[in-house]
A and B are shown apart, each in its own frame.
Chain A
């Protein structure tokens, strides 16, 4: 009985110590979050006009906004496991996806190679473990870097799945893509 009491007291002490530090951290992160939110708000308000223009610019005159376009596979609505699995499946069973309209949300990335650039939508999973990414080719030719979003900006991309060959290897990309 005495042993149980001692063990319970020790456990309670440990829990109390942990929760103290957690509360402190919570406070810090909340105040930290405020600061980050502030920065984001500033950025958004600063860029809001630009974003509208960019949206108009990328989608093109007379074209619908991305939200209106019907897609076959909507990666934006899936959990991270399934996103990673589906993107992987693009490479394992590409024939199942050819012609399908795919929508994805992530950050903008680019591979600059001599000859051509590869534009990517990178979807990072919360644990940082996997970063499935999807290549896309814009419908309307644009010049890089000026007419593309900045690196690591959040983008949503929608396009038609196709495969292409390069140096004897098969790759996948979304063609006729639209982003915002």
Chain B
């Protein structure tokens, strides 16, 4: 035990580790806040779909030779988010099919481009890092850290200011629109926030695991808590704890960061599920 504490103390001295922990916590916080809305609107897989689009955008940016790919990736992901999250019965292709088409298409095209126009010697390594986020959170440049912090602050501010609108839109969009709320504007805002969070979260857990970061904390909280506010707060707190724990464990044991965080999330879900069952049992 003391050996683990020694290692931890040793690693915390590294500025890149401290940066990673801060950014990781912020990303986990933002994803969990959005997760509650996305899960309830039955858009759980949007994280997956959008992250694959971001992967495709990154591949294009690499091929074209952009040094800073964030603006392009954010723009492309935001546009896809707006297209995919557009609720409306007048879309020809239904929600889940649209997500699947765009997500798989982007992944395939991205991988193809990366192989046909390789910019670095280690294509499979790059792909692996982007898909699974092995050490990307530990290798952030100062600029990227700053961008993450700013985006997280914006996401959290928007969420706090528009909490009531988000609730109304999540519970009953038709009612909100019928009673005078400008739902299309708020949906646009939510879509852009989702895109920003997805692009940020790719740094922490990689494309393939983003959905876990978004949905697990929300699902866990919903097992135990009964009001929207308590579900949201619990989801945020849980996500931060799991991300912190996951990152520390992975740094000390050398396991991949993304998968470790997700495994911790899974454990917490099981624990909350059991607590939920017990609560119901006690009530009866």
Contacts and interface: CB of A to CB of B under 8 A. Distances in A.
B262 to A, nearest CB: 15
A21 interface: no
A92 interface: yes
B141 interface: yes
A127 B251 contact: no
Interface stretch (A5-13, A83-91, A152-160): A83-91
A89 to B, nearest CB: 6
B14 A79 contact: no
Contacts of A28: none
B119 to A, nearest CB: 15
A69 interface: no
A130 interface: yes
A81 to B, nearest CB: 5
B209 to A, nearest CB: 14
Contacts of A88: 135, 138-139
Interface string B9-46: 00100101100100000000000000000000000000
A151 interface: no
Contact of B251 (A79, A92, A129): A79
Contact of A129 (B16, B20, B129, B254): B129
Interface residues of A, number: 17
Nearest to A129: B128
B112 interface: no
A73 to B, nearest CB: 10
Contact of B257 (A81, A86, A128): A81
A89 B139 contact: yes
Contact of A130 (B14, B17, B122): B122
Given A127-B256, A131-B122, A86 B134 contact: no
B14 A129 contact: no
Nearest to A80: B254
Measured as residues with beta carbon below 8 angstroms from the partner, the interface class of chain B is 20 to 34
Contacts of A127: 128, 134, 256
B132 interface: yes
A81 B14 contact: no
Nearest to A79: B254
B179 interface: no
A38 interface: no
B16 to A, nearest CB: 6
B56 to A, nearest CB: 20
B67 interface: no
Interface in A79-128: 79-82, 84-86, 88-89, 92, 125-128
B128 A84 contact: no
Contacts of B14: 82, 85-86
Contacts of B138: 81-82, 84-85, 88
B253 interface: yes
Contacts of B250: 81
B205 to A, nearest CB: 14
Interface string A126-141: 1111110000000000
Interface in B119-170: 122, 124-125, 128-129, 132, 134-135, 138-139, 141
Contacts of A80: 254
A125 B134 CA distance: 10
B252 interface: yes
Given A89-B16, A92-B141, A127-B128, A81 B135 contact: yes
Q: Which 3 A-B pairs have the closest CB atoms?
A: A79-B254, A85-B138, A129-B128
Interface of B: 11, 14, 16-17, 20, 122, 124-125, 128-129, 132, 134-135, 138-139, 141, 250-257
Given A92-B141, A128-B128, A130-B125, 13 more contacts: A81-B134, A81-B138, A82-B254, A84-B138, A85-B20, A86-B16, A88-B135, A88-B138, A89-B16, A92-B139, A125-B134, A128-B124, A130-B129
